[in-house]
Amino acid sequence: MSATAFKLVEAHTEPSPLLQLNGVTLDYAHSGQRILATHEVDFSVYRGDRFVLLGPSGCGKSTLLRAVGGFHRPSAGNILLNGSQVRQPGPDRVAVFQEFDQLPPWKTAKENVMFPLLASKRAGKHEAAELAQHWLNKVGVDKFANSYPHMLSGGMKQRVAIARALAMQPEILLMDEPFAALDALTRRNMQELLQTLWEEVGFTMLFITHSIEEALVVGNRILLLSPHPGRVRAELNSHQFGMHSMGSSEFQAATQRIHGLLFGDAHEAAVSARRARS
C-alpha cells in the first residue's frame, strides 16, 4: 500500500454503512438435505446506494435478499441494519418482487398502496389515501388508481408495487428481479422510471438481477456472485453508467469484463476441453 492511498482514506471520514453483511452463510432444507445457498458473503450498502447483486441462477442472490428482508436466518455471520441485527421482517425493509401476485387482487391500485401504510399504522386513512395518490402520480398510474390488479398490464402492476414500497419510505428498498417478467420494451421504461425516481426521491436500494446490462444501468455498485454456493467474486463500480451509456464502448467493455469474471473459468475450461478432443 502506498502512502498516498493511506492518506486518502484518512482525509475522508467514511460514513457508516446502512446495511452490513458479515460472513453471511445461508442454507436451506431440501428433501431432508441441507443445501448451501451462500458461503461467507460480505458487503456493505451505504445510504443512497443502488447496490446490485448480480450472478447466474443458483448464486443465492434471492436467498440473500430474503435474509436481509428478515425471512431467512443466516446459519453463520450476521446482517446489520443501522448497526442492529436483522431478526424479522419489518416495514423498514420493503420488497418489490418479480411475481405479479405480490399485489392483493382484492384491492384496487390505490388501496394496494394504502395497505402497508394502514397495516403498519404509519398513517391514518385520510393521510394514506393522499400518500397513495401522490405515489401513484409519481409512477404514472394515477389514471388507474381505481382499477383492480387483474385489469392492469404487467408493467403497470410493477409500477404499483414500486409506488407501494416507496410510499412506506423504507430505510432500504429490496428489489428481487422486479423487471425480469416484463417484456424488453417495458423493462427499458421501468429502468428509466427507477432512475428518475431515485434522482427525485433519493432512496437506498438493494437490487437483484441476472442481467449484466441491467446491473450496469440501474446500479452504482455491483457485487458479483459465483454460483453453487454463492460466493463473492468481485465488487465493481457502475455509477458512471446510465440509460444513455448503453452501447458505448466503455459500457461494452464493462459488460465483457463482468462476463469474463462470471463465466471466464467455465468458458476457458470448455475451450480447452474442445481443443483436447480435436
Partner 1 sequence: MSFPSSPPIRTEYECVPPVVQQTDLPANHAGLGRLLHRLHWRWLNKLAILGLLALGWELLARWQNNDLLLPTFSATIVALALDLANGELAQRIGVSLLMLSQGYLLGTVGAFLLTSLAIGTRIGRDLLDTLTAMFNPLPAIALLPIALLWFGLGKASLLFVLVHAVLWPLALNTYAGFRGVPETLRMAGRQYGLAGLRYVWQILVPAALPAIIAGLKVAWAFSWRTLIAAELVFGTTSGKGGLGWYIFQNRNELYTDKVFAGLLAVIIFGLLVEHLLFGVLERLTIRRWGMQR
* Residue number with CB closer to partner 1 (170 or 229): 170
Distances (CA, A) of 114 to 42, 95, 190, 232: 35, 15, 22, 38
For residue 220, report the phi and psi dihedrals to the nearest 5 degrees. Answer: -110, -15
CA trace torsion 200, 201, 204, 207 (10° rounding): -60
Q: How many residues in total does the chain contain?
A: 278
| Least distance from partner 1 to the Cβ atom of residue 82, Å | 17
Nearest partner of 161 among 225, 238, 105, judged by Cα: 105
| Least distance from partner 1 to the Cβ atom of residue 5, Å | 41
DSSP designation for 230: B
| Half-sphere exposure (Cβ direction) of 8: Cα atoms closer than 13 Å | 5
Which amino acid does the sequence have at 198? W
Q: List CB contacts of 171: < 8 A, sequence separation 6 or more.
A: 18, 81, 82, 92, 93, 204
For residue 80, report the phi and psi dihedrals to the nearest 5 degrees. Answer: -115, 130
Q: Are 100 and 178 in contact (CB under 8 A)?
A: no
* Residue number with CB closer to partner 1 (122 or 231): 122
| Least distance from partner 1 to the Cβ atom of residue 121, Å | 8
| Least distance from partner 1 to the Cβ atom of residue 26, Å | 16
| Least distance from partner 1 to the Cβ atom of residue 86, Å | 12
* Residue number with CB closer to partner 1 (7 or 121): 121
* Residue number with CB closer to partner 1 (102 or 226): 102
* Residue number with CB closer to partner 1 (93 or 233): 93
Which amino acid does the sequence have at 264? G
* Residue number with CB closer to partner 1 (69 or 251): 69
- Residue identified by cell 432512496 is 203
For partner 1, the binding residues (CB under 8 A) are: 66, 69, 71, 89-91, 93-95, 97, 99, 101-102, 104-106, 115-116, 119-121, 148-151
| Least distance from partner 1 to the Cβ atom of residue 228, Å | 23
| Least distance from partner 1 to the Cβ atom of residue 89, Å | 5
CB atoms within 10 A of CB 131: 20
CB atoms within 10 A of CB 33: 8
* Residue number with CB closer to partner 1 (106 or 275): 106
| Least distance from partner 1 to the Cβ atom of residue 14, Å | 30
Q: Is 169 left (phi over 0), alpha (psi -120 to 50) or beta?
A: left
* Residue number with CB closer to partner 1 (68 or 254): 68
